[in-house]
Amino acid sequence: MSLMLQEIAEQPRALADTIREERAKVVRLGQHLLRKREIDLIVMVARGSSDNAALFGRYLIEIRTGIPVSLSAPSVYTLYDARLKLDRALVIGVSQSGEGEDVNFVLARARECGAFTIGITNEPTSSMTRIVDETLLMHGGREQSVAATKTYTGQMMLFYMLAEALADRSNDRLDFERIPDYVATALDLRPQVEELVARYVFMENCVVVGRGLSYANAYELALKLMETCYVVAERFSSADFFHGPLAIVERHFPIILFAPPGVTLPGVVSLMERLRELRADALAITASKRAAELGTRALCMPPEIDEFLAPIPYIVPGQLFAALLADAKGLDPDKPRSLSKVTRTL
């Protein structure tokens, strides 16, 4: 078994450990930011899978708190030497290793410009932890496969916790403690995924679609397919896909769609109806009977997982798909060509 598959299987425990170990710190941090800092802007800085987790964090935090969230462009700092007005901003760096040079540069500069800074990392002794005001850690252990899995979902979990700590108390609370159990249930789909990948072993390109809280998962699954299976994978929201990219679809063109319950589902179903007319090969990750019927194939998730808790468990079948497809193609998902675990750019 590949390290990637082992680390995918470790996620229920890793997520539960992260909740237990970081809960008190996140609550205290939320109280400090709400009462003393008067934060009115949040900026995320990250690369790779961590950037995808930050994209999820943007959607979740804006929806739950009403605080605007921006994804940083590191070159604004590293190449153009800009100094931004950040005295009422929270800047969050997200890095599996905590050693991304551009991410850490932005954090250091943001702190100089008056921002309160938080680092989200898997490495408690990393350079990032010495730069930021506070550190939030994932507790899944060292990730050995180059392809991020448990660190991606661990970062997402910390965003759940932080969003709830910053949310208006009048909001209904998100029961994110249920997510580790939902992930364990999603892992039971592995036999279905193993059977499925044989149909995609010659796939060279595809599109991955998600929207809203699932948009980040479209980016993340596309990245996993590119780095472990060498598939050229584009990613779109279901809304954007109607604005031009639909023209690339022809008979049997592979499209993978995240179709969880909630407000984005009707739009995804509408797209799938059009894809069926075009005779595309549509694989749906969904709990919707209608979406499953419209798809060429479907990986069916438990219907009790609601829209807000769906993003982490719904990425698990995608992770399994990428890891098992790599194996079916005769590739090693743990050691993608030309890649290393720590990427240093400035």
CATH topology of domain 181-328: Rossmann fold (3.40.50)
CB 84 within 8 A of CB 70: no
- Under DSSP, the state recorded for 9 is H
Mean per-residue pLDDT over the chain, rounded: 92
Q: What is the pLDDT of residues 326-339, one digit of tens each?
A: 999 999 988 876 65
Give me the pLDDT at residue 56, please. Answer: 98
- Sorted by where each begins, the domain ranges of the chain are 3-173, 181-328
pTM greater than the 0.85 cutoff: yes
What does the pLDDT look like over 221-275, one tens digit per residue? 999 999 999 999 999 898 887 666 676 777 888 999 999 999 999 999 999 999 9
Q: Do domains 3-173 and 181-328 have the same CATH topology?
A: yes
**29-37, long-range: CB within 8 Å, 24+ apart, which pairs?**
29/118, 29/134, 29/136, 29/162, 29/165, 30/162, 30/164, 30/165, 30/166, 31/165, 33/90, 33/116, 33/166, 34/166, 37/88, 37/90, 37/116
Residues paired with residue 220 on neighbouring β-strands, in sequence order:
none
- Nearest Cα residue to 255 out of 226, 270, 276: 276
Instruction: Give the C-alpha separation, 268 to 239, whole Å.
Output: 8
Task: Give me the pLDDT at residue 344, please.
Answer: 53
Q: How far apart are CA 223 and CA 24, in angstroms?
A: 33
Which ranges of the chain have pLDDT less than 50? 341
Instruction: Report pLDDT for 91.
Output: 97
257 close to 284: Cβ distance less than 8 angstroms: yes
The reported pLDDT for the residue numbered 343 is 55
pLDDT of residue 345: 58
pLDDT at 37: 75
* Per-residue tokens: 337: 């060509």
Identify the pLDDT of residue 121.
Answer: 97
Structure tokens at 262: 């909630």
Fold of 3-173: Rossmann fold (3.40.50)
